[in-house]
Structure 1
Amino acid sequence: MTAAHLPPLSASTTSESTSPFYPGEPYSPTATPESSPSSRSLSLSGSTPTPSRPLSLVNEKVFDTPLDGPTRVGSPLEGPTRVGSPAPSVFEEKLKGEVVADLEKQGYPVSTEESAPAPEEEYPEGGLRAWLAVFGSTLVLLCTFGLSNSFGTFLAEYKTHQLASYPPSTISWIGSSHLFVTFASAFNAGVLFDKGYFRYQLVAGSVGWLIGIFTLSLAKTFVQIFLAQAICMGLSLGIMFGPCLSILGTYFRRKRAFVVGIAASGTAIGAVVFPVLLGRLFEEKGFAFAVRVAGFLMLALLVIANIVIRPRAISKTVVRAPLASTMRRIARDPAAWLVYGGVFGTYVSTFIPLFYVVSYAQKYSTNAAVATYSLSIINALAFFSRIGSGLIADRLGTFNTAIPLSFLVGVLTFAMIGATSTPALVVFLVLFGIAQGGWISVSASVFMTLANDVSEIGLRSGIGFFFVALATLIGSPIAGALLTATNGSYVAALCFGGGMAMVGTVFLVFARGIQVRRKSSSVV
């Protein structure tokens, strides 16, 4: 029986008429309920009423209408409707009103208030603890990645002192292995972060980093330096740097890209300070003394970071899914694979100019200072772009900001081929510093954007940084092989890097399209 063929529910119905709700029973709209009305409440919002018969009345008789396709759960008096269907018709509203009036006449209190939706996870978006976490994460990245990005200073020292008998290509494996170990270990670090072990990760990473830096001050041979700088310091950095960025994602959502940019600016500060500090002390006091000075400076800053960074207590409404199920969900997510592929391609391009800009400037610039301070110029400009790109991403969307920056990194890598004069090279250093600084900052936020809730931030970021590790491991060696194969010409290496960034940009464009459809918004 459809709703259109129901007998009218009006006061004119006689007491001898058959009840439309309970067949075979006499029906009287004015009958007094056996019990108190307050004890027989019926809600239209979906809450379970005390008596089952009035609820059965509505569900079984009034809206016993078969529907094709999926249905949505409404209140008991609404009945099911198709997903995305328009508002109830005038007839449905009238029928619902008649049923409500009839039930009220019989003494059943009826509520028409809608049930409150399940609360979503809220983000503080500020507060003392949140901003202290930003400050502490900035200190961590200043001490760690700031020194890692200063490897060129160590390379110059090793070539003339401890490792003078080794070719530069062999020495450079210390720096590339350090970055690979760092990013590769970020996957397991992300899993531990999602399980709630952030405090242990930060302490263990800080202690391991300090052990590595002070051990490095005593190292004399290639193996000793490799174990201290590439392995010990790389593992320690991998344990804590990803969680230090992910912790910000638990405090901020609307300002996420901005605060990640602030933290990432610590890398730029360190990459400007440490080359100047170490370069001067290497000449005046020697390698061991210089490294120990840097180590004690890091000790003070990391102690402060461990004090001020506190993990946020996640609401109990957030259920941490088992790792296996989360991994399966990520593996089936096309947007995730497109993002990881896009980030991989663009990072291959990013590191090629960073690794070879000094030697490139030495070859083409007539001003020795340009070659000496080329990395410092890039990192100084990156400080501003890392913060600025975060602000833009929070307004326009993370993908909408990352895609142009990825494209710009590729274009500038191609443009480096033509920067064969001092003025052109300076322009390249400025533009590339802005582009790569903004890209590195926003790319970390792209990983977090894919997370369904805060319980996935660490894992998704860890997987993303693993692809960054692959980019650091294979990108520069391939460029070096192309450089050797072309007798020192940078054209092939830079074309390879620029092409990889363009492919990465295309991947990110497709990933953005998926996110736009998911969120029904172009601001992604």
Structure 2
Amino acid sequence: MSGSERTASPTSEHVDPEKSLAPPSPPPSPPPFVEGGLRGYMTVLGAFFALFSTFGQSMSFGSFQSWYSQNQLSPYTASEISWIGSVQLCVFFVSGGLVGRLFDAYGPTLLLASGTMIVTFSLMMTSLATKYYQFILAQGFLFGIGFGLLFFPSMGATATHFTKYRATAIGIAGAGGSVGGVIFPIMLQRLFNNVGFGWAVRISAFICLASGIIATATVSSRLPRGKPGPWIDGSSLKDINYALFVSGSALTALGIFVPMYYVVPYARSSHISQTLAFGTLSVMNAGGTFGSTLLSIMADHIGRYNTLVPSAALMGILTLSLWFHAHNLVAIMTYSVFYGFLTGGWFALQNSCMAQISKMEKIGVRIGMAYSFIAFPYVSLVSF
């Protein structure tokens, strides 16, 4: 062995430049997508309770409308009283873009916990309210914020766990709102008369608190955490399918809530007793329970858009042909159950249809943005 070989430094070894510039090995592939699973089914359960306490309350506003018109807010017109519910839904709709973006970045848990606290606080404040502006602030603004924080993460999270049966999963979760819409009007009507307005609303607040805790503990998302982006996703607005869908939804929203708000006062004006008048709203929401579930199951088999579009058209046809000519209990009840069936399906299919044309990581912001745009045509009409 020569001296030069014996004294060679380890650092003088030849380094292959191709090896040094070789790209790092790719990260391991994510686990294969599992349709549903335990986390998915628990998310559907939690979303059901989230919508029970939010959409259930909101869809019961006709009960509050009737009570306010005869008690605390009797000097105000029906249109002025309905602004309480209009503000609530407008705030809920507008919050969608921001809440959806926060969901995509941070997941559902913190948002659901915040929404639960805000909804409970808003109802407690409503139970103490005596003046018009207090109802606007408590039941309108505050509840609307909590509504958005509970609704959008629940719907977005449910969509991440399912693909083949996404409409069915979202429909079952959405049925929670209809179930709440059945229970709350009956419960409130009885409690208003038995324990008074204040305690009736406080009891409903405790129910919403329990439902929100269940939702916070069970709802989860499959998406990895990301960075919060802008409230409005510009690339989504350039997607012609998404833009057309949002435009159609906004047009439908111009009138979809009007029967829900006015069916109870309309029944009272037709000389139907207060108990049966409150029952029309419960019947409408009971129809929504079946519509949300059955139309969603149908949508997974014949197509989500193939189910959504006829449902929206039939809502308008039914209202023009039946409600305008309904002046007795049988006719109003018949209209209520069929209209509720169609609206329950429409609400549930909105989210699954948006998810169908969206990338998984943008489901939250796209659903939220759509509801934000729906707010403006809705609030421009519903109170007039």
- State the TM-score, normalized to the length of structure 2: 0.86
Aligned to 2:37: 127
Matched, 1:302 2:208: no
- Report the CA distance shift for 1:367/1:285 in structure 2 as closer, same or farther (over 3 A): closer
Contact 1:349 1:413 in 2 (8 A): no
Matched, 1:448 2:355: yes
Aligned to 2:192: 282
**Unaligned 5+ residue runs, structure 1?**
1-49, 51-117, 481-524
Cα distance in 1 for partners of 2:81, 2:126 equals 15
Contact 2:90 2:376 in 1 (8 A): yes
Structure 1 residue 173 displacement after superposition: 0.8
Within 5 Å, give how 1:370-519 maps onto structure 2.
371-415=277-321, 416-451=323-358, 453-477=359-383, 480=384
Q: Deviations over 1:20-57 (max 9, x none)?
A: xxxxxxxxxxxxxxxxxxxxxxxxxxxxxx9xxxxxxx
Aligned to 1:237: 147
Aligned to 1:207: 117
Contact 2:315 2:342 in 1 (8 A): yes
Within 5 Å, give how 1:290-369 maps onto structure 2.
290-314=200-224, 323=229, 327-364=233-270
Cα distance in 1 for partners of 2:137, 2:72 equals 15
Cα distance in 1 for partners of 2:363, 2:315 equals 26
Contact 1:125 1:253 in 2 (8 A): yes
Q: Deviations over 1:368-397 (max 9, x none)?
A: 765332111111111011011111111122
Contact 1:134 1:262 in 2 (8 A): yes
Cα distance in 2 for partners of 1:442, 1:157 equals 32
Q: Deviations over 1:51-99 (max 9, x none)?
A: xxxxxxxxxxxxxxxxxxxxxxxxxxxxxxxxxxxxxxxxxxxxxxxxx
Contact 1:183 1:465 in 2 (8 A): yes
Contact 1:343 1:467 in 2 (8 A): no
Task: Decide which structure has the larger Cα Rg and report it.
Answer: 1
Cα distance in 1 for partners of 2:336, 2:310 equals 18
Cα distance in 1 for partners of 2:231, 2:211 equals 39
Contact 1:346 1:409 in 2 (8 A): no
Q: Deviations over 1:177-205 (max 9, x none)?
A: 11111111111001111112422111111
Cα distance in 2 for partners of 1:322, 1:140 equals 24
Cα distance in 1 for partners of 2:378, 2:136 equals 17
Cα distance in 1 for partners of 2:364, 2:223 equals 15
- Report the CA distance shift for 1:224/1:165 in structure 2 as closer, same or farther (over 3 A): same
- State the TM-score, normalized to the length of structure 1: 0.64
CA RMSD of aligned residues (A): 2.5
Aligned to 2:103: 193
Contact 2:62 2:262 in 1 (8 A): no
Cα distance in 1 for partners of 2:117, 2:228 equals 30
Contact 1:189 1:240 in 2 (8 A): no
Contact 1:183 1:466 in 2 (8 A): yes
Q: Deviations over 1:284-336 (max 9, x none)?
A: 1111111111112222222222112223254x9xxx69846982321211111
Aligned to 2:15: none
Residue identity in the other structure for 1:462: G
Within 5 Å, give how 1:258-277 maps onto structure 2.
258-277=168-187
Higher relative contact order (CA 8 A, sep 6+): 2
Residue identity in the other structure for 2:308: A
Contact 1:123 1:250 in 2 (8 A): no
Cα distance in 2 for partners of 1:202, 1:476 equals 28
Contact 2:104 2:228 in 1 (8 A): no
- Does the residue aligned with 1:130 lie in a helix, a strand or coil? helix
- Report the CA distance shift for 1:174/1:284 in structure 2 as closer, same or farther (over 3 A): same
Aligned to 1:27: none
Cα distance in 2 for partners of 1:423, 1:279 equals 21
Aligned to 1:228: 138
- Report the CA distance shift for 1:322/1:138 in structure 2 as closer, same or farther (over 3 A): closer
- Does the residue aligned with 1:350 lie in a helix, a strand or coil? coil
Structure 1 residue 152 displacement after superposition: 1.6
Cα distance in 2 for partners of 1:265, 1:342 equals 23
- Report the CA distance shift for 1:235/1:367 in structure 2 as closer, same or farther (over 3 A): closer
Structure 1 residue 348 displacement after superposition: 1.7
Structure 1 residue 270 displacement after superposition: 0.8
- Report the CA distance shift for 1:328/1:160 in structure 2 as closer, same or farther (over 3 A): closer
Identity of aligned residues (%): 33
Aligned to 2:157: 247
Cα distance in 2 for partners of 1:285, 1:130 equals 40
Contact 2:260 2:281 in 1 (8 A): yes
Contact 2:44 2:173 in 1 (8 A): yes
Cα distance in 2 for partners of 1:371, 1:325 equals 42
Contact 1:262 1:386 in 2 (8 A): yes
Cα distance in 2 for partners of 1:469, 1:454 equals 24
